[in-house]
Structure formats: C-alpha cells, structure tokens
Amino acid sequence: MMVSEIGEYLDRLGGNNYLDSINGTSAEDFAVAIQKLMILDQYANNGDHVLSVGVGQGEELQAIYRILRSKHPKIYGLDISSVAISRAKERMIINQIPNAYELILGDASNIPILNNRINIVVLSAILHEVYSYNQNGIDMWRQTIRESFRVLSPGGVVYVRDFCGPEFTGDVLVEFKDDLSRNFYNVFRKHYRKFESWNGDFVPQIVTPDFPPLSSDGNVILPMGLFAELAMHFRNFWNDCQKDYVSLDTIKDWKEINETYFILNESGKVMTPEEYLSEIREILGSSVSVDMFRKSERITTAKFIQQYLGVRQNNIDPNSLNGSIDTEVLLLQATSKMEIILRKQDN
C-alpha cells in the first residue's frame, strides 16, 4: 500500500471520531496516559531528544512533556496523518506547551530524521498499526523497528508498549453469553480486515485469519490467538458504542475492524511474547540489549470480557501432566499488554 493512501484513509477517519476514540481529552484520560509513560523518567537525561511515533491528537506528546519537563527535553512527534498532526499542534497550544517540540508528517518505516539523533523512541500501540496497514505487514513491522534504532543514539532506548500475544497457543471453546456478544461475533467475522471503507486496491492482497461460523449450539472453537483478537475487538467496540462512535450496523466503517492487534509468526499464528522478543533480537542483532521485558495483566479488562464471553481449553488431553488452564488465566493472557525497553549498544 502507498504511504499516501494510508495517510488519506486515516485523515478521513480523523474527522469521523477516530482520534477522539484513541485519545481522550478528559483529566482522567490524561492521568492514564501519564501513568502508562511514567517509566520514561527512569531513562531520560537532561536535554534528551524524544521521538513519539504515532501522535494521535497529542495526548502522548503532552504526557511526555509533563513527565520530563524538569529535564528540558526536545520532543518530536511523527504521524502519517496530517489531521493527527494538526490536532496534536492544537492540543499543545491549548495546553500552553513551550515550543520545545516539533511535529513531523512522515512514515514510521522511513523516519525523516538523521542517524543517531534521538535518545528515546516511544512506540506505544503503534507497531500493530504499522503491521495492519501494509500489504506485507511483517516486513514493515521489522523495518519500523530498524528505523527506530537507526535514529537512536548509542546508549539510547526504544520503549515498546503493545498488545501481548497469549502464551497458550492451543484451541479454546468460546461461549457467547448474550445477544450482543453473539451478534458482534457474526458481524465481526464478516467484516474483519476486509477494508470495505478503503478506496484503494489493498483488500485483495490481504490474507485474513478464518473466524468460522457459530456451531449449532451457538459456540465456536478458535485458536487462542484469534480468541484474544476477538476479545480485544469486542472490548474496544463496546467502548466506542458507549460514545456513539460505532454500532453493529456501521461496523464496516469502524477503523478497528481493519486492524489486527497481534503480530503473526511465519506459521500464521499469533506470536507468543517470547517469539515477539526473539524476532526483535533477530532484527537488531548485536546492536540491542533488552533492559526490560514485562507483561501487564489487565484484570479489569479480563473481568469485563468474562461478562460476555466464556472461554475454556478445548480437547484437554486426559494423559497430560499439565492439566487444563483455568478460564481466568486464559482471559488474562488474552487481554494483557507488554512493555519492552530496548537499548542501543555502542558497537
């Protein structure tokens, strides 16, 4: 897909509640953003140059400034959408952020910044989007990681925060507890990653996982990775429904319906956390050390999903010494996030 096509698509959505759905404007939303990024303070030094990839409407930029302002950072915000850049600039002006920032219209896989200029790169919930909106998603995902390291100065760090693939990779039986979740599944499987609101020729070249129809008893068997995909889309759909941004009737025009939240491995299955980190190490080789890798369980999200979706391990081997995995564990694995701090070595 052409970069200009992606930007035009996101620009159209920018005027259609998309930016509001990913970046809230309330004090509570801003407090959450600060909490997510507070770890940056441990790695920042006075006068550091910080690059945020994917600015949305500026919430992340404002949070980075608030966290690091005593260290007088120079902040760069990169986005492929001109609408996002404009919204981010408005937010920085309204909140009286000093002119110690620069907004750049550009592509995460081809960052328009010279080598070794940035001390901290923030990739928060952006790598799955790069993967989703390119015909060869895995190559562009890898290239974005390489680009982040190219602009990074030796000793600098890349902070990755994104969805965490489940550790369990077997099949699960999914039960739908009400009409909303059941109807969502039927609509979701029909429109998932079909890009029906797209104007270009992207659709025929995308391979989508198979979400089978419901069985006669109203349940479905899915690989655990696809259950995680379903669960997180349902959660985001429910949130956006509450704001009147989407309904079952308009889901084909919902941006999230075209995204995959989890990266697939060469076998077409969702990468486990260990596979994800191993792939990054292979991409960057000896230039990288891993300062931190942690998974964050989202208990509130898991409990929300449990109200609507039941899940249990399918076809448990009675001879297995490991036994079955509890429903609560499966739900926590499906809804977790991961955080990674990657440091550039001075080779």
What is the pLDDT, as a whole number, of residue 197?
A: 78
**pLDDT class for 321, splitting at 50, 70, 90?**
very low
What is the pLDDT, as a whole number, of residue 2?
A: 55
**pLDDT class for 209, splitting at 50, 70, 90?**
confident
pLDDT, tens digit (0-9, with 9 covering 90-100), for 150-199: 999 999 999 999 999 999 999 999 999 999 999 999 999 999 998 887 76
What is the pLDDT, as a whole number, of residue 25?
A: 65
Angle of helix 82-94 versus helix 3-14 axis, rounded to 10: 50
Range from 69-78, 79-88, 203-212 carrying the lowest mean pLDDT:
203-212
* Residue 284 vs residue 255, higher pLDDT: 284
Range from 88-92, 107-111, 152-156, 339-343 carrying the lowest mean pLDDT:
88-92
* Structural contact between residues 214 and 262, judged by C-beta atoms closer than 8 angstroms: no
pLDDT surpasses 80 at 108: yes
Predicted structure pTM score = 0.93
**pLDDT class for 4, splitting at 50, 70, 90?**
low
**pLDDT class for 26, splitting at 50, 70, 90?**
confident
Tell me how far apart the alpha carbons of residues 75 and 140 are, in angstroms, rounded to a whole number: 24
The contacts found for 41-46 with CB under 8 angstroms, 24 or more apart, are: 41/67, 41/68, 43/120, 43/157, 43/159, 43/291, 43/341, 44/68, 44/71, 44/73, 44/119, 44/120, 45/71, 45/119, 46/71, 46/72
pLDDT, tens digit (0-9, with 9 covering 90-100), for 64-73: 999 999 999 9
Average pLDDT of every residue of the chain: 90
pLDDT surpasses 90 at 99: no
**Close Cβ partners of 106 (under 8 Å, ≥ 6 residues apart):** 78, 79, 80, 112
What is the pLDDT, as a whole number, of residue 203?
A: 57
Domains contained in the chain, CATH given: 3-163 (3.40.50.150), 171-268+298-335 (no CATH)
What is the pLDDT, as a whole number, of residue 317?
A: 54
**pLDDT class for 206, splitting at 50, 70, 90?**
low
**pLDDT class for 138, splitting at 50, 70, 90?**
very high
Calculate mean pLDDT across residues 301-313.
Answer: 97
pLDDT surpasses 90 at 34: yes
Instruction: Please name the helix (run of DSSP H) or strand (run of DSSP E) that holds residue 181, with its range, or none.
Output: helix 179-191
